[in-house]
Every structure is written in structure tokens, then in C-alpha cells.
Structure 1
Amino acid sequence: MAIETNQVVSIEYEVRDGEKIVDSNVGAEPLVFMFGRGQIIPGLENAIANMSIGEKTDVLVKAEDAYGEHNAEAKQEVPKDQFAGIDLEVGMTLYGQGEDGGTIQVVVQEIGSESVIIDFNHPLAGKDLAFTVSINNIREASAEEIASGIPAENQQESCCGTGAGAGCGC
């Protein structure tokens, strides 16, 4: 039976770039996401679409269906003083806020005396990725989950209304 859009899927996975394991949640908390909402890379989502609970498979996701091709022009020279208080190192991953308010990830490419060159490519851009993936669970999403796009397992617990209130922004 095919997994349908807006179903909540729970997976265990290991991803390799060649022989090197670059990410894994094996033996840890499963990755929980809403199918068909772009919450995981397209190539992996397409590969698991016809899987069922308990199934395990190996899949090769091509770069264009993972984090995209590497864009040599996705670099920017930024004044070094914008990184005040950060002990910069070449290869370091930094997170910031994009123009749309979303989180962006950059990698420090070069450190000069006055400026820093950052790369906006995802560290795995341009790489074909080998996944071993198991389907732990598939369930229907609630109306609230569909509206928010966030599975209950991924929602932040709120302390508002519990009487705790102090320090949680309530």
C-alpha cells in the first residue's frame, strides 16, 4: 500500500557518502515527518512511497534529488567584523537568518584579514547519497497536524496553561 500525502511516517535511516556515514538515527529517535510536504529530500521520499511498516531497503539518491548540484557561484564575501565573538575555522558550519526569516546554513570557505568567504551550498550538495532506510510506522495525521504541517511527535511542548508559566514566555 502506498504512503499517502499528509500521512505521518516514522523512519530509521543511515546515509553514506561513499563509505563514510554522514548521518544516522539508527538506535536513536526515529525521524518523523509528514509525507508529501517536502520535509525530507525528494529522492528519499520517492524511494519510500510504496513501502510498508517493517520494510527496509537500500536506495541511492542522486545529487539532484537530494541537496542539489553544487553551485560554484553560491559564495559570498562578508566583512570579518560580522563574525565578532566567533572563533572562525575553515570548514565550520554556521547558521543564520535568511531574507525570508528562515534558517540558512553556510560553510566558512576562506578567512582573510578583513573578510570571510562563506559558501551557501549544503555540505552534501553535489553528492549522491546511499541510504539504508526502515519504515517504523505510518499513521493518519490529525486535522491539527495537517493544518500545521507538524506531526505531534515534533511539536514543542508548551508550558503555557500548566501553571508553570515562569520563564517560558507565557
Structure 2
Amino acid sequence: MAIKKNQTVTMNFELKINDEILESNIDSEPIVFTYESGEIIPGLETRIEDMNEGETKKIKVPADEAYGAYNDELAETLPISDFEGINLEIGMVLEADGENGEIFKATVTEVTEENVTVDYNHPLAGCDLDFTVLIQKVI
């Protein structure tokens, strides 16, 4: 059965960027999601439509249909005093509450004696994603 809107899909996948595996559930539990419910990235979702149970497919999702283009304006440098009591490390992901109660994440990209540079872009922003997907079940 081919995948259509509101169906439950059971899928295994492998995600690569520049031939490096970032995530894989090929030899473990598959993910289960409702098609067209926004549970997976849009570019992958549109490219699995009409796949059938048991079908495997290699799929390239461009950055603009995944996590978007990298935006230089989403990085900022703040005084290190804003981070008192935190043992900062490059690559560390910090969470904070926004003005409207939303939670946002920032990755620490640079730490000096005076300043900390944080990046609010998604870690995969600007990256084209290469997937191998196996559709296990469609209900």
C-alpha cells in the first residue's frame, strides 16, 4: 500500500551529510509517524509519498526543505558574565525561555575571557541531507 495523508507509517532510515552517518535506526526500532502531520521534515515527507511497504529509496533533501539556510544573523556574542555558574564548552547546547514562554536552543561556538558566541541556527541548517529510507508498514 502506498503512503497517503493521515496514514501511520513505520520507517527505518539512515541520515548522512557528506557521506558521514549522523543518525541511523536501520538495525534497530523503526520510527512511527502519521504522514503529513509535520512529525518529520517536510522535504523528506514529500519524497516518501507513494512509496510502498517494503520499498527502500535513497532521498536527497535540500537544506531549504529540511532545516533551512544558515543565517549569520542568528549568531550573537554576549558578555561571559551572562553565563555565570555555567561551565561553558564549545559545542554545548544551551536552552533558554523566550519572551513569550517559548524555549529556544543555542550552540556555544566560541568562548573567550570576555565573551561567548552562541548560534541559534539548527545544527543542520544549511546542510543537504542524504537519507536511505525503508518503509516497513503503512496503515
What TM-score do you get using the length of structure 2 for normalisation? 0.86
Which residue is equivalent to 1:131? 131
Change in Cα spacing, 1:6 to 1:116, as seen in structure 2 (3 Å) is same
Change in Cα spacing, 1:55 to 1:97, as seen in structure 2 (3 Å) is farther
Which residue is equivalent to 2:70? 70
Change in Cα spacing, 1:137 to 1:129, as seen in structure 2 (3 Å) is same
Q: What value does the CA root-mean-square deviation take over the aligned residues?
A: 1.9
Change in Cα spacing, 1:57 to 1:91, as seen in structure 2 (3 Å) is same
CA distance in structure 1 between the aligned counterparts of 2:105 and 2:19, rounded to whole angstroms: 25
Q: State whether residues 2 and 138 of structure 2, in contact with CA within 8 Å, keep that contact through their aligned partners in structure 1.
A: no
Query: Which of the pair is proportionally richer in strand?
Result: 2
Structure scoring higher RCO (CA < 8 A, sep ≥ 6) equals: 2
CA distance in structure 2 between the aligned counterparts of 1:82 and 1:6, rounded to whole angstroms: 45
Percent of aligned pairs with the same amino acid:
44
Matches within 5 A, 1:9-48: 9-48=9-48
Secondary structure of the residue that 1:73 maps to in structure 2?
Answer: helix
Secondary structure of the residue that 2:16 maps to in structure 1?
Answer: strand
Question: Shift in Å at residue 94 of structure 1?
Answer: 2.8
> What count of residue pairs does the alignment treat as equivalent?
139
Larger-gyration structure (1/2): 1
What TM-score do you get using the length of structure 1 for normalisation? 0.72
Change in Cα spacing, 1:112 to 1:48, as seen in structure 2 (3 Å) is same
Mark the runs of 5 or more structure 1 residues left unpaired by the alignment: 140-170
Query: What code does the residue aligned with 1:9 have?
Result: V
CA distance in structure 2 between the aligned counterparts of 1:7 and 1:70, rounded to whole angstroms: 32
Question: Shift in Å at residue 105 of structure 1?
Answer: 2.7
Mark the runs of 5 or more structure 2 residues left unpaired by the alignment: none
Change in Cα spacing, 1:33 to 1:108, as seen in structure 2 (3 Å) is same
